[in-house]
Structure 1
Amino acid sequence: MERPRFFTRQVLAEGSEIELEAEPARHIARTLRMQPGDRLVLFDGSGDEYPGELVTADKRHVTLRCGPARTIDRESPLAVELGIAISRGDRVDWVVQKATELGVARIAPLLTTRGLNLPADRREKKRGHWQRIAESACEQCGRNCVPEIGFPQPLDSWLDTVDAPLRLILDPRAKPGDLPAQVGTIALLCGPEGGLEDEEVKRARAAGFGTLQLGPRILRTETAPLAALAVLQARWGDLRF
């Protein structure tokens, strides 16, 4: 049976004894009902993972001792930065979780004309929420590096910072175009329900973005980026079939 995996924001080292944060501690003690002597795996986002043994496990405190670091690379050779328009409901939650499983390197939540106008005082809280979703997805899928979730920002601000050599906008109206044979870094932009406005597409094109069309059907805003990630990872990354 696979050992359960847990993310911690604490720096891990062989032989160290740490007390876990409240959320994973509750899961270990109350949900999984693990006991002292049980084994698990910890990672801190640095790329290594550490086998661990529980020292104490009660309702208030869970401590464990770290074993030797294991360097296991499960990261894709294709680094994708996903710019995703902030939409209503839990659509961004879903995209963050599944994009992490698909190997995305970074996610930039974007404020667009037709997207959700997230108030300034809620942006950091939302960013933290999405970061925790990414951490949890890494626990499940085996990644030891957690993708960074950027602070929510206007589309134009993000366009000014993107430096990936290949930049693509998802556009169901676009015509299929030629793509390079080899690429290592991509910026992928996906709009909200109803898509990006024409002026936003023009600004993205001016910033070096080409268009990417996935097929004859129009996909929902939470489906399109995941389908695109799967296609791109199959072409240039590490998805195999």
Structure 2
Amino acid sequence: MDAPRIHHPQPLQAGQTVVLPPAASRHVQVLRLQPGDALTLFGDPLHGGQWRATITAIGRRDVTVQVQAHEAVQREPARAVHLAVGMPANERMDWLVEKATELGVASVQPLLTQRSVLRLSGERADKKIAHWQAVAVAACEQCGGNRVPLVQPVRALADWLADPVRTGLGRGLWLSLQPDVPTLARWAAMYPGPCHVVLGPEGGLAPDEEATLAHAGLQPVSLGARVLRTETAALAALTVLTLAP
């Protein structure tokens, strides 16, 4: 049986004894693990991959482990895909983040658009981002991914497009999902590098928002003739882009 996977986003080294972060300690306790049980730690920003470890002590709040050997295991897609998505309402954003993480998304940018049903700002937005980041961590623990995608702070679409820091995501193909335009599969086959995909919420993007994306240099692409929900479209796009040869 594989050792439980625990997220530990700090550099590690063989032979080191560390106290797990609070969330990771709670996870170990919920699993009812005991001293001597094996763990797999992932999230090391310096070495990548994952580490074998053994639980040495379990207290009321803290769990201590001894780090053993590093394993250079990577399960990320060859192409980095960044999603910028008009947030769907209710629990659909949770589901989108979870499944996008399983498919290997590199980052998720929640967007506030003209037709957004979910309106977030201030402390409520901060709490949602922390929640979605935790959803991404749990999805990586389950699916075997060793790099947790970053869930960015909520931004208005216009502000995000106007922010020069946006280009810090790196060069690549910038795409906007829209109806009645060439299909995404065609572009995926033509361009093997990193991609940035923007899509709207329930009801799609407003015409002036689509025009703004085009003016910003984003290529409009479609997923075919059917009308897909936001969360379905996001995952369909990820599947095309991450599984394309």
Per the TM superposition, whether the score is higher than 0.5 is yes
Match of 2:124 in 1: 122
Contact map agreement 2:12 2:44 (CA 8 A) in 1 = no
Q: Does residue 11 in structure 1 map to residue 11 in structure 2?
A: yes
Counterpart mapping for 1:15-26 below 5 A:
15-26=15-26
Partner of 1:146: 148
Corresponding residue number in structure 2 for 1:239: none
Matched, 1:135 2:137: yes
In the alignment, is the contact (CA less than 8 A) between 1:75 and 1:145 conserved in 2?
A: yes
Q: Residues 92-241 of structure 1: matches in 2 within 5 Å?
A: 92-115=93-116, 116-160=118-162, 161-162=166-167, 164-176=171-183, 178-179=186-187, 181-236=190-245
Q: How many residues align?
A: 235
In the alignment, which residue of structure 2 is the partner of 1:36? 35
C-alpha distance after superposition, 1:57-91 (max 9, x if no partner) = 24433211001222212121101110011222122
Q: Which amino acid aligns with 2:57?
A: T
| d(CA) in 2 for partners of 1:101, 1:65 | 28
Structure 2 Cα separation of the partners of residues 32 and 108 of structure 1: 32
- Structure 1 stretch displaced more, 170-179 or 193-202: 170-179
> What is the one-letter code of the residue matched to 1:156?
A
Question: Distance in 1 between the 2:8 and 2:183 partners?
Answer: 43
Gaps of 5+ in 1: 237-241
Q: Please name the residue that 1:74 is paired with.
A: 75
Matches of 2:183 and 2:54, distance apart in 1 = 53
CA distance in 1: counterparts of 2:9 and 2:49, whole angstroms: 13
Query: Distance in 1 between the 2:158 and 2:14 partners?
Result: 44
Shift of 1:103: 1.0
Contact 1:107 1:147 (8 Å CA) reproduced: yes
Maintained 8 Å contact 2:11/2:44:
no
Q: Which moved more, 1:186-195 or 1:213-222?
A: 213-222
List gaps (5 residues or longer) in structure 2.
none
Shift, 1:120, TM fit: 2.5
Q: How many Å separate the matches in 2 of 1:164 and 1:95? A: 25
CA distance in 1, matches of 2:104, 2:97: 11
- Pick closer, same or farther for the CA change 1:207–1:129 going to 2, 3 Å: same
Counterparts of 1:51-90 in structure 2, within 5 Å, are: 51-90=52-91
| 1:126 counterpart SS class | helix
Partner amino acid for 2:6? F
- Compute the TM-score of the two structures, normalised by the length of structure 2: 0.89
Name the structure 2 match of 1:2: 2
Rounded Cα–Cα distance in structure 1 between residues aligned with 2:60 and 2:224:
51
Distance of 2:149 and 2:216 partners within structure 1: 24
| Higher alpha-carbon deviation: 82-91 or 20-29 | 20-29
2:19, 2:64 within 8 Å by CA — same for their partners in 1? Answer: yes
CA contact (8 A) 1:78 1:185 kept: yes
* TM-score of the superposed pair, with normalisation by structure 1: 0.90
The answer (yes or no) to whether the contact 1:169–1:210 under 8 Å persists in 2 is yes
SS of aligned partner of 2:146:
coil
* Structure 1 position 45, deviation (Å): 4.2
Match of 1:55, SS?
Answer: strand
Let me know the Cα RMSD of the aligned residues.
1.8
In 2, the alpha carbon distance for the partners of 1:145 and 1:45 equals 9
